[in-house]
Chains A and B, each alone.
Chain A
């Protein structure tokens, strides 16, 4: 079974700061099958990054993704007020077919 671990659980930052979110897979995952979602309170998740560095339609370039082996990273270069929320990583393949991480909350310091 593929397990994703996200760190930190919570990231408290101020607007304008850089955010670095980590996701680690328990077993090998093809890097082109790693993605990141943002979820704000009361809203559905939104796809941000996939494959592992392609931005989804309409996603600003302050969001970037990278992968190295079983370690995946989402970086937000300069936090905007609308960027605060919960971020989930997700992988495809293995068992279960789709796995989500537990999430990292980015909140206002």
Chain B
């Protein structure tokens, strides 16, 4: 079955960097666009970024543009989110999700990123 497992989260100081990874299994990663979506503690969902199946196209939310970079390694069944210049408002659980026709049909369990001094 489809499985998405995030890793790489933790506590980081404002201005710092962190790289999230998402290990995909149970489907052919190279056939799907993928995305990152985040959820601040006790808050709703916010789309962060997505990437085309061959990495040729990426898109970002305005709130992270220029600071976050999405990438993927289809050969190793992995999705990444490089986060830099982190701010307190980036504190959230970050979900890796599979994209399908405008929606997100499978989600990982999420990885918590806390930005605090």
Write the residues of chain A forming the contact surface with B, with a CB cutoff of 8 angstroms: 32-33, 35, 37, 43-47, 50-51, 56-57, 88, 90, 92-93, 96-103
Q: What 0/1 readout, one digit per residue, does chain B (82-117) give for beta carbons within 8 Å of chain A?
A: 000000000000010000011111111110000000
Verify A47–B102 contact, CB threshold 8 A: no
Q: How far is the CB of A31 from the nearest CB of chain B, in Å?
A: 11
Write the residues of chain B forming the contact surface with A, with a CB cutoff of 8 angstroms: 35, 37, 44-47, 50, 59, 61-62, 95, 101-110
Verify B46–A100 contact, CB threshold 8 A: yes
Q: How far is the CB of A43 from the nearest CB of chain B, in Å?
A: 8
Q: Which residues of A contact B105 (CB under 8 A)?
A: 47, 56-57
Query: Known contacts A33-B102, A35-B102; is A44 also within 8 Å of B110 by CB?
Result: yes
Verify B61–A96 contact, CB threshold 8 A: yes
Verify B102–A100 contact, CB threshold 8 A: no
Verify B102–A102 contact, CB threshold 8 A: no
Q: How far is the CB of B26 from the nearest CB of chain A, in Å?
A: 13
Q: Which residues of B contact A45 (CB under 8 A)?
A: 45, 95, 104, 107
Verify B47–A101 contact, CB threshold 8 A: no
Q: Which residues of B contact A93 (CB under 8 A)?
A: 102
Interchain residue pairs with CB less than 8 A apart (29) = A32-B102, A44-B110, A45-B95, A45-B104, A46-B107, A47-B103, A47-B104, A50-B102, A51-B101, A51-B102, A51-B103, A56-B105, A57-B105, A90-B104, A92-B102, A92-B103, A93-B102, A96-B47, A96-B62, A97-B50, A97-B59, A97-B61, A98-B37, A98-B47, A98-B102, A99-B47, A100-B44, A100-B45, A101-B44
A96 to B38 alpha-carbon distance, docked (Å): 14
Nearest CB to that of B95 among chain A residues?
A: A44
Interface centre among B59, B101, B102 (most CB of A within 10 A): B102
Nearest CB to that of B62 among chain A residues?
A: A96
A35 to B45 alpha-carbon distance, docked (Å): 13
Q: How far is the CB of B81 from the nearest CB of chain A, in Å?
A: 15
Interface centre among B95, B104, B105 (most CB of A within 10 A): B104
